[in-house]
């Protein structure tokens, strides 16, 4: 099981890709040094910096677009979706307004040297925290970004007194399944209506 140092319960935490650490910029935010990943929740507070929130939601929108385009392409290849040039309306709505689409959830981004390179949405689900829209852009892959996002999710679940983490993944995504198993997730009976989705859970207490 891969382990990462627990996140500080502050604005963000650094997860090194090759052993470097983050530093605080002039505005007090954690800034990544080369090969470092900073994981943080997107600020929804009314008193937050408007410009920062706008940049964050724009980045989340772009990550969601890439996630959905890739997923729909794969679904078409595997015969579970018709394919086509347009995304289903429910997914386009997430891209157009992620703040509203995920109201009540925690939206988490992983910052690389040039801005967000990964994300995950954390939602309460039947006493657990469910990971949704876990995505790492090509620029952030093979740098521990997915594991860092999942470490943040574990701490979030512990803070929220959830029983565990859960997620679902398409059965052809062997690399993702391998990652989740390495993080302590095990396959459980499915709560999904779509038969090729594999459901996994990891207790946190």
| pLDDT tens for each residue of 56-109 | 999 999 999 999 999 999 999 999 988 778 999 999 999 999 999 999 999 999
Find the DSSP H helices in the chain. Answer: 50-77, 89-96, 98-101, 145-159, 174-182
Whats the size of the chain, residue-wise? 205
Residue 162, SS3 per DSSP: coil
> Does residue 203 register a pLDDT over 60?
yes
* Residue 21: pLDDT band with limits 50, 70, 90: very low
Tokens of 94: 């997430």
Query: Does the pTM of the predicted model rise above 0.75?
Result: yes
> Does residue 16 register a pLDDT over 50?
no
- Counting Cβ atoms within 10 Å, is residue 159 exposed (0-12), middle (13-18) or buried (19+)? exposed
> Does residue 132 register a pLDDT over 60?
yes
What pLDDT shows up at residue 174?
A: 97
Tokens of 141: 């892959």
DSSP code, position 139: G
C-alpha 156/C-alpha 204 separation (Å) is 10
CATH number, domain 13-162? 3.40.630.30
- Counting Cβ atoms within 10 Å, is residue 105 exposed (0-12), middle (13-18) or buried (19+)? middle
- Counting Cβ atoms within 10 Å, is residue 189 exposed (0-12), middle (13-18) or buried (19+)? exposed
Would residue 133 be called left, alpha or beta, if left means φ above 0 and alpha means ψ between -120 and 50 degrees?
Answer: left
* Residue 35: pLDDT band with limits 50, 70, 90: low
- Residues in a beta bridge with 107: 121
- Counting Cβ atoms within 10 Å, is residue 31 exposed (0-12), middle (13-18) or buried (19+)? middle
Return the ∠ at Cα 197 (arms to 195 and 203), rounded to 5°: 125
Work out the number of other CB atoms within 10 angstroms of the CB of residue 11: 14
Domains of the chain, residue spans = 13-162
| One-character DSSP codes across 3-20 | --PPPPSSS-EEEESSS-
């Amino acid at each position: 099981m891969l382990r990462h140092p627990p996140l500080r319960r502050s604005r963000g935490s650094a997860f090194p890709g090759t052993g470097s650490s983050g530093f605080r910029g002039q505005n007090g935010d954690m800034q990544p040094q080369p090969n470092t990943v900073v994981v943080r929740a997107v600020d929804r507070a009314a008193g937050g910096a408007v410009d920062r929130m706008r940049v964050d939601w724009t980045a989340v929108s772009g990550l969601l677009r890439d996630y959905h385009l890739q997923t729909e392409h794969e679904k078409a290849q595997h015969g579970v979706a018709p394919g086509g040039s347009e995304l289903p309306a429910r997914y386009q709505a997430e891209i157009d307004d992620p703040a509203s689409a995920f109201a009540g959830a925690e939206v988490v981004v992983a910052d690389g040297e040039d801005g967000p390179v990964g994300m995950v949405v954390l939602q309460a689900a039947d006493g657990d925290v469910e990971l949704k829209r876990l995505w790492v852009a090509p620029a952030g892959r093979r740098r521990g970004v997915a594991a860092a996002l999942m470490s943040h999710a574990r701490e979030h679940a512990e803070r929220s007194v959830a029983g565990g983490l859960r997620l679902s993944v398409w059965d052809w995504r062997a690399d993702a399944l391998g990652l989740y198993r390495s993080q302590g997730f095990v396959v459980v009976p499915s709560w999904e209506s779509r038969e090729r989705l594999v459901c996994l859970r990891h207790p946190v207490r």
